Amino acid sequence: MVVSKPLPAGARELLEEAAGYLPPDRVEQVERALEFAVEKHEGQTRRSGEPYVIHPIAVARLCAELHMDAPTLAAALLHDTIEDCGVTSDQLRSKFGPDVTLLVEGATKIEQMPDRTMDVEQADAETLRKMFLAMAEDVRVVIVKMADRLHNMRTLEHLGTGRQQALARETMDIYAPLASRLGVWQFKWELEDLAFRYLEPEMYHRVASMVASRRSERERYIRALEGELAEILAAAGIKAEVTSRVKHLKSIAEKMQRYADQGRSFDQMRDLLALRVFVDTIADCYNVLGVVHQH
């Protein structure tokens, strides 16, 4: 391992996650980026008082959970070094090569705030324009920025109310839809719920309370249903992976509003749970559908 100092929080988990799917020489690239990030962010802290480097490590871990390549993980670790640490593109290029450098430069361009004379809609449009340009050049830049935003939203309690709501609105309007467009559903759901929490706190806590009151019952039910479906598909000779989840709070709130418009109550909602079946072929999609209908 290249890192010589004690590892910051989350660093070991990041390297273990990377080693689970990347070859050793690619993991070594991530290790070098980690060491560089620790060095350059030394002495910097977040609003929470934690060492700043914990943030890029968390961003890289989110990218690793998506099994992104080594340059993306390295760029996630280094994404704030140009803006916050005075590191130049030439320095990054000489140490990590052009691929990582271009990703960091792309992330930095998105991060640079729009002209403060713009109103909110103009600023959002400018951010969106930059995101689409980044997608056209290299979609990995947008993955890094979505992971960056997700970790920032997870730690939003350390900012003032005005800043919280501004970031939450931008998250709901720009980042969550982009995550949906790219099919990064785990980012989309959490981004929406975190933004919902700050944009509509009363409704958020109301829905969270209603869902929590019967969560254990629902989770027992969905786990049993997941196992039952997996057994049925195996008996039918279909190779499949079955997963389950309780739907996220933002989607439940939207459905509650539709139900209220129809004079129906929360207790009448029957689709708070979801099963997802992954198969290898399109033909098996139809086979699964047939089996589900039979049962």
Helix (H) or strand (E) holding 264: none
Cα 60 to Cα 167: distance, rounded to the nearest angstrom: 21
* DSSP assignment letter at 247: P
Q: Which two tokens stand for residue 233?
A: 């598909």
Q: Are 64 and 33 in contact (CB under 8 A)?
A: no
* Nearest-angstrom CA–CA distance, 28 and 22: 10
Query: Look-up: residue for tokens 């968390």?
Result: 58
Q: Contact 68/182 with Cβ under 8 angstroms?
A: no
- Enclosing H/E stretch for 246: strand 240-246
287 phi, psi to nearest 5 deg: -60, -45
Q: What pairing do the DSSP bridges indicate for beta strands 240-246 and 273-279?
A: antiparallel
Structure-block tokens of residue 132: 């689409």
Phi-psi region of 34 (alpha: psi -120 to 50; beta: other; left: phi over 0): alpha
Opening angle at CA 38, ends 33 and 41, nearest 5 = 115
91-95: Cβ within 8 A, 24+ apart = 95/32, 95/36
* Residues 6 or more apart in contact with residue 84 via CB below 8 angstroms: 41, 44, 52
Catalytic residues: 83-84
- Which residues does 109 contact at the CB level (< 8 Å), separation at least 6? 130, 134
